[in-house]
Structure 1
Amino acid sequence: MTTSATTSPASTSDLAATPDGFAKLAAAAGFLTFVVGMAMAPLSGTAPRLGDAEADVVAYFTSDVGSHQAVVVLSAFLGLPIALVFAGVYRALARSSVPAAAGWSGLFLFGAVMMSATAGVQEALVGLAVHQGEVDPDPGLLRLLSDGGNVAGASLGVWAAVTFGAVAVVVLRTGGPRWYGILCAVIAGIGLVSIVDTTGAGPDGVLAEVAFTGFIVWTVATSVVLLRRPLAR
């Protein structure tokens, strides 16, 4: 008499919970973004807001030039790891078995692309202002570059709300980690509120700093989720 042993295949949920190589790469990029972002925070100081006096703008970009240059370089460096994090999140959302998740994951991708493009414009304008403040601190030009960066920053808040709001909807509607979905919803709200601060109507730079910190926290939270369980089911 012979007996045959059968091995049951791994369930879909078990396979989804096991991070593959790209998920691990995206998670590592998120941890790197968190470390570099936290190092950047104290270097930035309180940047001028839209409509600030020329004297205040000149004082900001002509003082502590080394720190400003370091922020510009680190911001450019973070472009690749942030792109990897976004790609990892989109890939996880797009794999959801819930049909409604497809549209929201597409909205996330659109928001992430626009958010990255807007951040690139803002960083370019700030970089030019930092360079101009070192070589030829013309008050009118510095204020123009600073105001342009703040307008881009306001747009960035809108796209951040779209991006993280889409993640929150998919995660909460598909049975993903509830705490992560709530975190994304909170960060989306902060992104909208930070617009007020960027345009000069809110408290002195506090909301913009909170929004940046929220994004950095989101990257490390995303890394943890990508390594431990699926974002969406």
Structure 2
Amino acid sequence: MPAYFRRLDATRFAATDAVQGAWNTDEQHIAPALGLLTHALERDRHERQSSPLTMSRISFDILGTLPIDTIDVTTRVIRAGRTIELAEATLHHAGRPASIARAWFAQNHDTAAIAGTNLPGLLAADTMQAWSPSHIWPGRFVTTVDVRRNEVEPGRAQFWMRPRFPLLEGETISPTARMLGLVDIANGITPRVAPAEAYFPNVDLDVHLFRAPESVWIGFDTTVSFGPGGHGLTHSLLHDEHGPIGALLQALTVRPRSTT
């Protein structure tokens, strides 16, 4: 089966055409690259120490676009520790940084007796209609994702998604890295306006998790908001097939096409 990336050596990866973007088909969709950064952080932490720390938050700053080409990923520890740790991964192309990820890892404790959430649930994927993002978006990446969607109105929807391709050829990927190689697409599943009317790419992506995902299908309860001054926000509550697991925020830069 094709994958989004192939490893070339310890830090270099070749992007395949499965990452072809939606805003520009000559560029990568950033979603798989964010999953790759997550995988690099998890792999680096595992290789450095065996203590069972789990990723609880990760933030990505998207610094620029990426051609469908070879990329480099480097990691460093910002705050080492046995109970909490902050680490950073940077994705480069031709020496230029294109995205930076910072992740908090925290020690596991048995809190099963007090676990719970008041976040609302989500209808199962098999109760929603199949929907293809390629109805409104170009590029190959959006064709590699299965989507089941209930849209209330433009900018408000509940949906489930799963990738049909592995993130990285020949390597085991955690459910968290697999999910984070997908979630950036949330911004385009229920747009407030058609892409032909305005640009609304996200400049960052922040995910907070109180539980790691346990299923391939990831559910989203998503609201997209535009302000009057060119700024926007996509907010999603994240679910797996067992219930809510966390939240996703994407800051948008909104630009009407008529003024570009």
Report the structure number with the largest CA radius of gyration.
1
The two structures have a TM-score, normalised by structure 2, of 0.23
Larger RCO, structure (CA 8 Å, separation 6 or more): 1
Larger proportion of helix: 1
User: Of Structure 1 and Structure 2, which has the larger fraction of its residues in strand?
Assistant: 2
Structure-1-length-normalised TM-score: 0.25
